[in-house]
Amino acid sequence: MFPELSPAQIERNYTEACQTYRELGIDPEEVLAHMQNIPISLHCWQGDDVKGFEKQENVSGGGIMAIGNYPGPATTADMLREDAERAFRLIPGKKRFNLHAIYAETGDEAVPRDQIKPEHFQNWMDWAKKLGIALDFNPTYFAHPLANDGFTLSNGNDEIRKFWVRHGIACRKIAGAMARSQGSPCIVNHWIPDGHKDQPIDRMGPRKRLIQSLDEIFSEDNADGKLCKDAVECKLFGLGSEDYVVGSHEFYMSYAMTHPQMLCFDMGHFHPTETIHDKISAVMLFKKEQLIHVSRGVRWDSDHVVNFNEDLRMLFQQLVRCGVIDKTHIALDFFDASINRIGAWVIGTRATQKALLAALLEPTKILQSFENANDNAMKLALLEELKTFPLESVWDMFCLRNQVASGASWIDTLIDIDRKIIKKR
């Protein structure tokens, strides 16, 4: 249905595109070499609607909701790994895989979250090593009976709070084991759903307890800082925390500025009219690294599948223009249960990579010279012209060199997977 360009045609188009970009001082060969070394971390929870494989009862969403009932979500760890591999085959470039703690494989045993161990993720580590990819990790501070009142690391009940601290420590030990297995650092992101639905009286107390909990987790000598890289993630509001979120942007930015941990920016965790691209140049003046969660909110933090829109373009423009692209860990964070889940992975990852490629192909020096000379009409004119430059021809070459379908031809493979596998589950 969707014809694929021949390698010869891709080569011809790429040669013409190289000439166009080189006239502006950009070498697409250098750009593609750089692209090849920038990994995107795909998130496991897109494949099964954030359900995981935990053995427990009385579970609530805890601020997490995957909407939709498209057939064929993964229901076992083996099935999820198979689906991830199907997505990998349609995505060019370097990839990582991002796990949550609830994706532990404990057999028939119900293992409390504060007692999970690296052995419960051994299958994941073996799988990643076989594929030559690295793993990232997340404690799961939601969807648990001890999170049902809406508070975990900031809980006023010290026993509950300590349970979640032990969970965070256990997760960092698991991340350390993953890092040793893969021979590279494991990124560990900490997000909690803690907050009030309406008009809390005490807004400072929970934040004091959150500082205490984070300090306890990170002070524990359980993961070498070179192996386990931690980030803290803010949010504007969540389900059940519409009025007050303990881990707000102001809280976590202040924490990250006074502690070694990275700040995580999620594209959907701010006001609907607020974007994160302007925050990069402010925060990265003070931090060595950052974590970006690539997502797309529609009217609220709805975690829509990422597409190649203006917000995404502006984010990667700033990462490149500020010279921090190689200091940024890029991870996807969306989950749509209303469409083919493998397709969601591929659409979102390829869109993210295209935004990265467009930013790397930008003639920043020329644009900066216009700005310095107050030639702002010329600057805007060139920015507009760049939108129709032959990005696609360079993208097709990136796909060809990674032995991945270019253009829209990969959709035929998705249709085949959907009809022959997903809808027959």
Residues noted as catalytic: 191, 233, 235, 266, 269, 293, 301, 303, 333
Bridge partners (DSSP) of residue 186 are 228
Both structure tokens of 358: 């467009």
Pairing of strands 290-294, 262-266: parallel
| CB hemisphere CA count around 320 (13 angstroms) | 21
In degrees, rounded to 5, the angle at the alpha carbon of residue 84 between the alpha carbons of residues 82 and 85 is 65
CA distance 95 to 312: 19
3-state DSSP assignment of residue 2: coil
CB-based contacts of 86, cutoff 8 Å, min separation 6:
342, 417
CA distance 101 to 120: 10
Contact status, residue 156 vs residue 105, Cβ threshold 8 Å: no
Length of the chain: 425
CB-based contacts of 424, cutoff 8 Å, min separation 6:
72
Q: Phi/psi of residue 246, each to 5°? A: -60, -50
Number of helices and strands in the chain (H, E) = 14, 10
Amino acid at 382: L
Which letter does DSSP use for residue 69 in this model?
-
Contact status, residue 261 vs residue 235, Cβ threshold 8 Å: no
